[in-house]
A = this chain, B = another copy of it.
């Protein structure tokens, strides 16, 4: 329950791979997909999302590929997850007002708010740079 999908998992693996590359090096999507063991076409979609948000920069044509759009230390795990999974949302009522007409009185609502803020806080405090450091 309440779990990351494969897409999210793939996204994290992919961007960590990029973060481990030497400064300025670009990687082909084929290379990344093979390295992190993800279907290439699927990972390509994910990286399109990244590129649109500026998390990675992309270049087409010969010598093209992907690299980080900013320093790994400035990219949080939360950003990466939210790009592909959407906002962290333990229950529907947290999205907009009017999504549940009970929200104004409901005693459960604040619990979900707390869950949301805690999870967001954890993921916000983890950067891709940390995740890319030498493995344990």
A interface residues with partner B (beta carbon < 8 Å):
1-5, 8-9, 12, 16, 77, 81-82, 85-92, 104-108, 111-112, 114-115, 118-119, 122-123, 126, 130-133, 135-136
Contacts and interface: CB of A to CB of B under 8 A. Distances in A.
Given A3-B91, A88-B1, A89-B1, A126 B111 contact: yes
A55 to B, nearest CB: 16
List the number of copies, as a whole number: 2
Given A91-B9, A135-B106, A136-B105, A85 B1 contact: yes
B108 A131 contact: yes
A85 B2 contact: yes
A112 B111 CA distance: 20
Contacts of A16: 108
Given A2-B3, A107-B133, 15 more contacts: A1-B85, A1-B87, A1-B89, A3-B89, A3-B90, A4-B112, A77-B108, A90-B119, A104-B136, A106-B136, A107-B131, A111-B123, A115-B119, A118-B118, A119-B119
